[in-house]
Amino acid sequence: MGELQKPRGTRDVLPEEASRWRLLEDRARQVAARYGYGELRTPLFEVTELFRRGVGEDTDIVGKEMYTFLDRKGRDMTLRPEGTAPAVRAFLEHNLGAGPQPVRLFYLQPAFRYERPEEGRWRQHHQFGAECFGAAGAAADAEVIALAVDFLRTAGVADFRLRLNSIGCPACRPAYRAALREYYRPLLPLLCADCQERFGQNPLRLLDCKVDTAHAAGAPRTADHLCTDCREHLQGLEALLARLRISFDRDPTLVRGLDYYTRTVFELESPRLGSQSALGGGGRYDGLVELLGGQPTPAVGGGVGLERTLLALEAGGAPAPTVEPPQVFVASVGEEYALEAMGVASQLRSAGVRVITDPLGRSLKAQLKQAARAGARWTVILGEELSRGVLVLRDMAAGVQEEVPAGELLTRIDKGVV
């Protein structure tokens, strides 16, 4: 390795892999269109304050994972670590709340988090996300979840699990939080160091402690402490998912690390991915729009990680899509015909044919080898017969060739290639 390497936790996508990416992105756009979501493109960076307020000061993302820098005028900026806060900002900045509701937006974009990289977790990753503003009912939750599930299915991910929970709302969460504290207080000395901290800051996250699941198992359950509205919302969502034939597991320990969620939270996970198993996730965030300065607006959203989707596809043995090979290789015999080759190639390209030539002045033998390797259906050979106005057209698969008048080349190829 040289001294100049890509930054830690980032990846290069070479042509072969890029075709996988294009396919996946196409699928994402198709699915978004089928659900009526319009594409949103926001800047790669935002003022840091947006994430501090939007994502939450106590979260891991804001606390230790942001790529933050001062610009030349000393303004505090951050590479976007997630998509929801910028979407809300754009929703407000363009006053989308004034138009027809709900407002449905999707994005296909990178996000940046300063974490320790490993397989499945990178410092720059890409998300397909969807946000729905202005719909308070469970139908919107179901729609966003269905969209994410639909995307994974359309992409070809064979098996994944949907986990679902409700973490309540400002009306019922305080009481639940208090109940949790009451339960955990006597256990406090037994908890892991992280959990001792969580106890004070965000007791809900005590639930997804993996160090000691025994404690969480006996803890008060969210479902038993939801207010009537939240309980009905969750029941409504479950009924809708059942109607959509989307199976799910209720998981009372599912909390998620972002502060803005209310009621519904969900995660999609793959059994094939090892420790970074979440393919996607999301939830409802009814308080966020107001928190960022707008009118109270219910909203729900979610995202799916593209890298992890690709990993799950490969783990599931999905075949790699092929790069489109050239249709024609134009070969020439000797330097004197190299110019002619460029001309013929140019003419074919104007007609929309995918053509390559040999820029290295190699032997005909080597050129045919290149043609075969590149997967060209035809090889055009230019040599002395050009003086008679003909060239040689070789069918690479069949291994046969014939002389063709130069003027008929395009029609011959068209017939064969189409």
**256 is an interface residue for RNA by CB under 7 A:** yes
Tell me the closest approach of the beta carbon of residue 99 to RNA, in angstroms.
Answer: 27
**131 is an interface residue for RNA by CB under 7 A:** no
Residues 99-118 that bind RNA (CB under 7 A): 113, 115-118
Torsion of CA 150, 155, 158, 163, to 10 degrees: -40
Tell me the closest approach of the beta carbon of residue 228 to RNA, in angstroms.
Answer: 28
- CA 109, chain centre distance (Å): 7
Q: Could you give the angle at the alpha carbon of 112 between the alpha carbons of 109 and 114, nearest 5°?
A: 165
Residues 275-334 that bind RNA (CB under 7 A): 275-281, 303-305, 307-308, 333-334
Question: Minimal CA–CA distance to 356: which of 395, 385, 367, 406?
Answer: 367
Residues 395-414 that bind RNA (CB under 7 A): 396-399, 401
Strands 328-332 and 355-357: parallel
Tell me how far CA of residue 59 lies from CA of 87, 158, 222, in angstroms: 19, 32, 20
Q: For RNA, which residue of 235, 247, 346, 363 counts as binding (CB under 7 A)?
A: 363
Q: Which is nearer to RNA, 100 or 359 (CB)?
A: 359
**209 is an interface residue for RNA by CB under 7 A:** yes
Tell me how far CA of residue 232 lies from CA of 146, 170, 235, 309, 403, in angstroms: 19, 16, 5, 33, 77
**253 is an interface residue for RNA by CB under 7 A:** no
**373 is an interface residue for RNA by CB under 7 A:** yes
Tell me how far CA of residue 395 lies from CA of 126, 184, 360, 389, in angstroms: 42, 76, 23, 20
Binding piece for RNA, criterion CB under 7 A, among 23-31, 131-139, 217-225, 381-389? 381-389
Tell me the closest approach of the beta carbon of residue 8 to RNA, in angstroms.
Answer: 3
Binding piece for RNA, criterion CB under 7 A, among 88-96, 222-230, 242-250, 370-378? 370-378
The H or E element that residue 16 is part of is helix 15-34
Tell me the closest approach of the beta carbon of residue 157 to RNA, in angstroms.
Answer: 12
Residues 35-94 that bind RNA (CB under 7 A): 59-61, 82
140 within 8 A of 102, measured Cβ to Cβ: yes
**372 is an interface residue for RNA by CB under 7 A:** yes
Binding piece for RNA, criterion CB under 7 A, among 25-33, 68-76, 234-242, 267-275? 267-275
The alpha carbon dihedral of 92, 93, 99, 101 has a sign of negative
Q: Which is nearer to RNA, 137 or 271 (CB)?
A: 271
Residues 1-40 that bind RNA (CB under 7 A): 1-3, 5, 8-9
Residues 145-204 that bind RNA (CB under 7 A): 194
**258 is an interface residue for RNA by CB under 7 A:** yes
- Token pair for residue 411? 């029609």
Amino acid identity, residue 243? R
261 within 8 A of 282, measured Cβ to Cβ: no
Tell me the closest approach of the beta carbon of residue 279 to RNA, in angstroms.
Answer: 5
Count of C-beta atoms within a 10 Å radius of residue 285:
27
Q: Which is nearer to RNA, 177 or 231 (CB)?
A: 177
Using CB under 7 A, count the residues that bind RNA. 73
- CA 403, chain centre distance (Å): 50
Question: Minimal CA–CA distance to 309: which of 47, 180, 129?
Answer: 129
Tell me the closest approach of the beta carbon of residue 138 to RNA, in angstroms.
Answer: 21
